[in-house]
Amino acid sequence: DAGVIQSPRHEVTEMGQEVTLRCKPISGHDYLFWYRQTMMRGLELLIYFNNNVPIDDSGMPEDRFSAKMPNASFSTLKIQPSEPRDSAVYFCASSTRTGTNYGYTFGSGTRLTVV
Amino acid sequence: QKEVEQNSGPLSVPEGAIASLNCTYSDRGSQSFFWYRQYSGKSPELIMFIYSNGDKEDGRFTAQLNKASQYVSLLIRDSQPSDSATYLCAGVLTGRRALTFGSGTRLQVQP
């Protein structure tokens, strides 16, 4: 199992540009989560999907952020336009609903720097 | 008040000692709790979870949950320098499916 795969690992972009982060969850996991981590705010939930359907997007900061999950093996998080305050590490995680342990498996993260 | 609260540390312990990491939560209806370890520049890794009052042991790690006091802890016995990392406490809060994370406690194990 290759685990949760995120791309790119690092992204440096100029303010105002569009940024797209990608995630491939573990096969068979029907929950997918997007988190953002900063020193000031820690790990914050942005949005999560169940069976490709967005369930809770209350953590999405503003309309500049959008997320999609067109199929069970792919999700994107888009920021348009990007701002310096969006600089953070963005993690994707997936889990399965079976069993009592539904701890997440995290991807390696995308470190986003907006200059 | 933060929903899941941790002391940021750093907590410094000598090699071989017991490290005690603590976490409190505000929602009395919270269910399961999870401990994650995160090395610098890496992603969080699940250590263990607990959902019943009492202790749960897994190797050198023991998780403790006290729902009456709204308190979760992680004990690491025979601490090793390789245990030096940030430890994140996370809970499943009432009405939510997604984990809510604390800000983490940085642990330093001195050789």
- In tens, the pLDDT along B46-60 reads 999 998 899 999 999
- In tens, the pLDDT along A10-29 reads 999 999 999 999 999 999 99
Q: What is the pLDDT of residue A101?
A: 61
Would you call B94 an interface residue with chain A, using a CB distance cutoff of 8 Å? Answer: no
Q: Identify the band that residue A98 occupies on the pLDDT scale cut at 50, 70 and 90.
A: low
Cβ distance of B43 and A91 shorter than 8 Å = yes
User: Burial, B17: exposed, middle or buried (Cβ in 10 Å; 0-12, 13-18, 19+)?
Assistant: middle
Percent with pLDDT over 70 in chain B = 99
Percent with pLDDT over 90 in chain B = 82
Cβ distance of A48 and B97 shorter than 8 Å = yes
Q: What is the pLDDT of residue A99?
A: 43
Measured distance CA(A45)–CA(A34) in Å, rounded = 6
- Name the E strands within B1-111: 4-5, 11-14, 19-25, 33-38, 45-50, 54-58, 61-66, 71-76, 85-91, 100-101, 105-110
- In tens, the pLDDT along B7-40 reads 988 999 999 999 999 999 998 888 889 999 999 9
**Residues whose CB falls within 8 Å of the CB of residue B90, separated by 6 or more in sequence, listed in order:** B4, B33, B34, B35, B36, B99, B100, B101, B102
* Chain B residues within an 8 Å CB radius of A55: 97
* Chain B residues within an 8 Å CB radius of A53: none
Q: What is the pLDDT of residue B24?
A: 96
Q: Identify the band that residue B67 occupies on the pLDDT scale cut at 50, 70 and 90.
A: very high
Cβ distance of B43 and A107 shorter than 8 Å = yes
B76 contacts B19 by C-beta, under 8 angstroms = yes
Question: Is the bond leading into A81 cis (omega within 30 degrees of zero)?
Answer: yes
Percent with pLDDT over 90 in chain A = 87
Which tokens hold the place of A101?
Answer: 């342990």
CB nearest to B88's CB, from A43, A100, A108: A43
